[in-house]
Amino acid sequence: MSTAAEPASYDPKIVESQAQAFWEARRAFEVDERSDKPKYYCLSMLPYPSGALHMGHVRNYTIGDVISRYKRMTGHNVLQPMGWDAFGLPAENAAIKNRTAPAKWTYANIEHMRSQLKSLGYAIDWSREFATCRPEYYVHEQRMFTRLLRKGLAYRKNSVVNWDPVDQTVLANEQVIDGRGWRSGALVEKREIPQWFLRITDYAQELLDGLDNLPGWPDAVKTMQRNWIGRSEGLEIQFNVEGHEPLTVFTTRPDTLMGVTFVSIAGEHPLALKAAAANPALAAFLEELKHGGVSEAELETQEKRGMDTGLRAVHPITGDKVPVWVANFVLMGYGTGAVMAVPGHDQRDFEFATKYALPIQQVIALKSPRNDDEKTYDPTTWRDWYGDKTRDDLELVNSGEFDGLDYRGAFEALAERFERKGQGQRRVNYRLRDWGVSRQRYWGCPIPVIYCDSCGAVPVPDSDLPVVLPENVTLDGVKSPIKADPEWRKTKCPQCGGAAERETDTFDTFMESSWYYARYTSPGAKDMVDKRGNYWLPVDQYIGGIEHAILHLMYFRFYHKLLRDARLVDSDEPATNLLTQGMVIAETFYRDNADGSKDWINPADVDIQRDDKARVVGATLKADGQPVRIGAVEKMSKSKNNGVDPQSMVDKFGADTVRLFSMFAAPPEQSLEWNEAGVEGMARFLRRLWTQVQKHVADGAAPALDVASLTAEQKAVRRKTHETIDKVGNDYGKRHSFNTAIAAVMELSNALGKFDDASPQGRAVRQEALESAVLLLNPITPHASHALWQALGHAETLIEDVAFPQVDAAALVRDSVTLAVQVNGKLRGTIEVAADAPRDQVEALAKAEPNTAKFLEGLAIRKVIVVPGKIVNIVAG
């Protein structure tokens, strides 16, 4: 007998805490390698423990969780781990501000953020969790580094840092504000100090080629990586210099050789230094150049400046003498630090020559100019085609024996000639630089090196690792506590036993995030990773922000090759598929201050008025009821104070609703606009589905489905169920199109709302539809699905172990189809025909359709076109 009690209403707090307690007690998401299912490793980029989750985290981890849970439902052994990228500068800043130790602050944040993640119900194998600031993690990194040092893949060289002369400390780029130290306000200087590097350039070509084997990575990311690696094919050519050693230039445009009118060298080039020894004005200029910026971006934008060295170089073909200039845009660290200047065809040289009145010579012309602009070479105005080597309608002019050749032809001819004469050679250069891994900061992994006066830099022996970073310290904001503490530094040389000192620099935090994915596979392994790594790796799906497209993802790929070459893993790439999720954006609100500045107001403190299309038309401050101004929709950020706190949303609506909205509001790669009206819509949908299930089960168990006995309406609902299963499976599995998957389940729920058949088979059809809806939503709303699955009569089977629903192909077959009937292209009526009706029957029915028949009266039928399943068009006249 059925009880007519009010169905239980949806209370996400209860439903979610019950489901989470259930998963925790069952260790439902702990996995290992002993499985006969195919493995699936789904990894989201690990968070920095900044204090609280932000919406970007929620979006990232929800995408990962939906994919993980879907893969589990489709029969995979799914690993989804989580950890903490725990070293880094913010901890030092917070420590100074709050008078606590960075370690303490970090661990407290981890505790808090872990509980936040748990409240979102992610299917994470928490037994594998780690924080990268723990010695049991970084000991492996230290051992790997000493290994690389012995192999010659790590080395030390001088490199430029920002130096604060008042605080006597090195500053990170973000601590330099308008050229001044963030604390002292002193003008920052450039200083050269010895630093450690990893030879990523040895892997440049492999990192480039590997991109061709990553069809599962977004093209945009691959393009950025290709540009960052920046492979250039060119020639090194020697120019003799009167009274000095020959000078070697690197050029990618040997075809322009006959247009060289001077040579430019970097300020640090040895030849410049030699020339400066006898030329005080030049020496002063070189000194001045040292104070300029060092980044490539700065060099691109700064004004071109230079000075004649007085030296003369001899053109290798004509024997003409050309001046050698120092130019501020020539980098010592690229190519040879010397450039054959071709102001006729290189824009930077053009600007430089114009400024210093150096000669400009055209050597490339268009074979078939399309307009006046292209017809004549004008040395007073730069045109894009002057420097374009990709056009295939260019030829050499004013180049003697090389006239008429194109870029390729000239390249080959000159390469051949110089190689034969020993005056030059082909050469490939990469823009990619070696990875500088030293940081002069405290809160990082200590670099395991000892300096001895007699033995030099000695790696710390494995048996003495880890070199542990002291955690219980006080920060004064100026000096790293391990640099300030002479006791920490003091040690014995592992080679000669003499007194020695430890390295006090720590690693760049990109070091920890370069191999964490491998560590997750092998908890407790003696080395970084053990043979379990080969079971799980490569990562099947990696998910994270596009802001990591270049550095992190490059180091991550590089490190995988280091692991491979250390025989720790046997694959070449760390991740097969990459998804870069879009930003989370939100409205901004502000009031103008008297001084013209703006006071940004958090959306949580604002009441928003909307029109019937949900557009914001007005806003008032909750505190005073007075209007506030509406700004642009922008990325959630501290500076615009438009971050929406995920915790407050979870508290208010429940995790499932937050997850549902994050997946519904936009496709994963696009930006997602957070708006509470949308969140409320998702809450309503979940409540309706909840009520539908509760109402349905209140009438007792449904009988078994008897497919053969269904009425047309029952069949139609069942068809809708299976069409939805089909679509959602595709959307999850093939397209990562979660928003359309949700929309499809909503449609199914709508269709059920209109289906009030209470007969036994009607209830059986509804049972199947509701079970399907609950299963299809399970990856996104796992708590509600967990509860509803039990409510639907599955007390023994766990939804976490139930397979994704299968499409019943028979259910998709339509018994009858509706066809539109047109006369001469105009719609005149519709007919119902059997899905497999023969053509002549369809034609006959169409002609007989009453309205159609009326329009055909008195006309001769010339042709009947039948588009099966869609229309019948009768051509008559």
- Could you tell me which residues are annotated as the binding site? 638
Q: Which is nearer to ligand ANZ, 346 or 726 (CB)?
A: 346
Q: CB of residue 163 vs ligand ANZ: minimum separation in angstroms?
A: 24
Residue 340: contacted member of ligand ANZ, Zn ion, none (CB under 5 to 8 Å, by partner type)? ligand ANZ
Question: Considering only 11-19, 30-38, 250-258, 303-311, which stretch makes contact with ligand ANZ by CB under 6 A?
Answer: 250-258
Distance in angstroms (rounded) separating the CA atoms of residues 385 and 374 = 8
Q: How far apart are CA 143 and CA 196, in angstroms?
A: 15
Binds Zn ion by CB under 5 A, chosen from 468, 496, 499, 810? 496
Q: Which does 478 bind (CB under 5 to 8 A by kind): Zn ion, ligand ANZ, none?
A: none
Among 495, 620, 647, 830, binds Zn ion (CB under 5 A): 495
Q: What is the dihedral of CA 182, 188, 190, 191, to 10 degrees?
A: -80
Residue 452's binding partner among ligand ANZ, Zn ion, none (Cβ under 5 to 8 angstroms by kind) is Zn ion
Residue 330 interacting partner from Zn ion, ligand ANZ, none (CB closer than 5 to 8 Å by kind): ligand ANZ
Q: Which does 597 bind (CB under 5 to 8 A by kind): Zn ion, ligand ANZ, none?
A: none
The site for Zn ion, by CB under 5 A, has a size of 7
State yes or no: residue 557 binds ligand ANZ (CB under 6 A): no
What part of residues 297-336 is at the interface with ligand ANZ (CB under 6 A)?
Answer: 329-331, 334-335
Of residues 496 and 677, the one with the C-beta less far from Zn ion: 496
Contact 793, 771 (CB under 8 A): no
State the DSSP string of 415-454: HHHHHHHTSEEEEEEES---EE-EE--SSSPBP-EEEETT
491 phi and psi angles, rounded to 5 deg = -160, -175
* Residue 191: closest CA among 165, 166, 232, 163: 163
Place of tokens 């250069």: 429
Tell me: does residue 493 bind Zn ion (CB under 5 A): yes
* 187: DSSP letter: B
Nearest to 866 by CA among 816, 820, 815: 820
A 10 A CB-CB count for 574 gives 24
Residue 766 neighbours by CB under 8 Å, 6+ apart? 696, 702, 717, 752, 755, 757
Q: Which one of Zn ion, ligand ANZ, none is in contact with 495 (Cβ closer than 5 to 8 A by kind)?
A: Zn ion
Spatial distance between the Cα atoms of 288 and 286, rounded to a whole number of angstroms: 5
Using CB distances below 5 to 8 A depending on partner kind, what does residue 399 bind out of Zn ion, ligand ANZ, none? none
Q: Which does 19 bind (CB under 5 to 8 A by kind): Zn ion, ligand ANZ, none?
A: none
Q: Does 643 bind ligand ANZ (CB under 6 A)?
A: no
Stretch that binds ligand ANZ, among 141-149, 245-253, 637-645, 851-859 (CB under 6 A): 245-253
Of 81 and 337, CB closest to ligand ANZ = 337
CB within 8 Å of 158: residues ≥ 6 apart: 192, 193, 194, 195
- In three state form, how does the secondary structure of 745-757 look? HHHHHHHHHCCCC
Piece of 59-67, 68-76, 249-257, 518-526 that binds ligand ANZ (CB under 6 A)? 249-257
Interface positions, 697-716, toward ligand ANZ (CB under 6 A): none
- Region 364-423 residues binding ligand ANZ, contact defined as CB under 6 A: 387
Strands lying side by side in the sheet with 490-492: 456-459, 449-452, 499-502, 490-492
Q: Which of 576, 541, 581 is nearest to 56 (CA)?
A: 581
* Distance set, CA 323 to CA 241, 289, 320 (Å): 10, 20, 10
Instruction: Please tell me the count of residues contacting ligand ANZ according to CB under 6 A.
Output: 19
Give the single-character DSSP code of 477: S
575 binds Zn ion (CB under 5 A): no
Among 238, 429, 675, 761, binds ligand ANZ (CB under 6 A): 429
| Contacted entry of Zn ion, ligand ANZ, none for residue 62, CB cut-off 5 to 8 Å set by kind | none
* Candidate list 54, 253, 560, 847; residue touching ligand ANZ; CB under 6 A: 253
Instruction: List residues forming the annotated binding site for ATP.
Output: 638
Can you tell me which of 455, 478, 525, 604 binds Zn ion, judged by CB under 5 A? 455
Which residues within the stretch 330-359 sit at the binding site for ligand ANZ (CB under 6 A)? 330-331, 334-335, 337, 339-340, 342, 345-346
Among 74, 184, 252, 534, binds ligand ANZ (CB under 6 A): 252
Instruction: Report the 10 Å Cβ neighbour count for 212.
Output: 9
Work out how close the CB of 500 gets to Zn ion at its nearest, in angstroms, rounded to a whole number: 6
251 sits near ligand ANZ (criterion: CB under 6 A): yes
Q: How would you class 549 by CB atoms within 10 Å of its CB: exposed for 0-12, middle for 13-18, buried for 19 or more?
A: buried
Read off the tokens for 727. 């679509």
Measuring CA to CA, which residue among 222, 220, 219 is closest to residue 207?
222
Contact residues for ligand ANZ, defined by CB under 6 A = 232, 250-253, 256, 329-331, 334-335, 337, 339-340, 342, 345-346, 387, 429
Contact residues for Zn ion, defined by CB under 5 A = 452, 454-455, 493, 495-496, 498
